[in-house]
Amino acid sequence: MMYDNDIELGRNDVCWCGSGLKYKKCHMDFDAKLQRLAQSGEEVPARALLKTPEEIEGIKRSAEVNVGALDYVAERIREGISTEEINTWVHTYTVEHGAIPAPLDFEGYPKSVCTSVNEVVCHGIPSADEVLASGDIVNIDCSTEKDGFFSDSSRMFCIGDVSPEARDLVRVTKEAVQAGLDAVRPWGHLGDIGAAVNAYAKDHGYTVVREFGGHGIGIEFHEEPFVSFVTKPNTGCVLVPGLCFTIEPMINLGKRHIDTSDPNGWTVRTKDRKLTAQWEVQLVITDEGYELLSW
Ligand code: MF3
Ligand code: CO
């Protein structure tokens, strides 16, 4: 029996990865390594979470639409645009590219994209009543399902004349994601990423939201593992090649605490109503490091 409760393949069986090769010529040694790590007490992701080359190709086709939708928004977003218009852009772009906006009807979410303005931490719902004004900072979070494969990324946009304080928060949050990426080592630990993000944010006097984080993704919108950005190095699951997940820290100008009391059940705000920012990328761990899939 394998560590993930799967049955062990025979040497001459066809490998699970879709290569068509015999197990002994393909992932047999790899699986033995996973088994050893699990037995030594490491948290090892179930093999079902590791994406095969074919699955990664599918996720890339999904991500192509997701990145395209965000690029489309980037070219048009400005003062005077409502978040409802952004929703229409993303919805139309996605559908016209043969894909489905993953947020729509996800656990009852009513729109095709999340638009989180200023003190909104995440899951802001687009509305015709919400018109972007000069000085706003806004996160546009796009997620796409194409042919059964999922992609997810988000970007911040500064509208018109933005205060230096807000601009710094947006920039540092993007840099924090890069610090997280720089901490990725194949066969390292997931906690290394959160530790790097947290240290970077803290160094700039900001705080990191604990209640929400990144997630595995690919065959489903949200898979294991949960990706926290308040972790210690050398903790959490092993970064096994094939593991696909997001890095998406929410970083606050003021205190870390959030307010989830909005009656719509979605919109999350900072408790102190100070500004917050988030950038999100999706990556897959490779033998050499990582490959960015969506941004
Ligand atoms: N895109 C968000 C994430 O990064 C999830 C949004 S769920 C939704 O995980 F229903 F609000 F869209
Ligand atoms: Co996400």
Q: Is 295 in the pocket of ligand 1 (CB under 6 A)?
A: no
Q: For the residues 105-127, what does the mean pLDDT come to?
A: 99
Distance in angstroms (rounded) separating the CA atoms of residues 113 and 81: 15
For the stretch 70-98, pLDDT in tens is 999 999 999 999 999 999 999 999 999 99
Distance in angstroms (rounded) separating the CA atoms of residues 199 and 68: 32
Mean pLDDT of the chain: 98
pLDDT class of 292 with cuts at 50, 70, 90: very high
Ligand showing the shortest atom-to-Cα distance for residue 139: 1
> Rounded to the nearest whole angstrom, what is the distance from the C-alpha of residue 192 to the centroid of ligand 1?
24
For the stretch 155-172, pLDDT in tens is 999 999 999 999 999 999
Which of 100, 143, 222, 247 is the best mutation target for the ligand 1 pocket, counting ligand atoms within 8 Å of the beta carbon and taking the most?
A: 143
List of residues 6+ apart from 243 with CB closer than 8 A: 45, 49, 50, 51, 216, 225, 237, 284, 285
pLDDT class of 116 with cuts at 50, 70, 90: very high
Name the β-bridge partners of 223. Answer: 216
Ligand showing the shortest atom-to-Cα distance for residue 142: 1
For the stretch 236-264, pLDDT in tens is 999 999 999 999 999 999 999 999 999 99
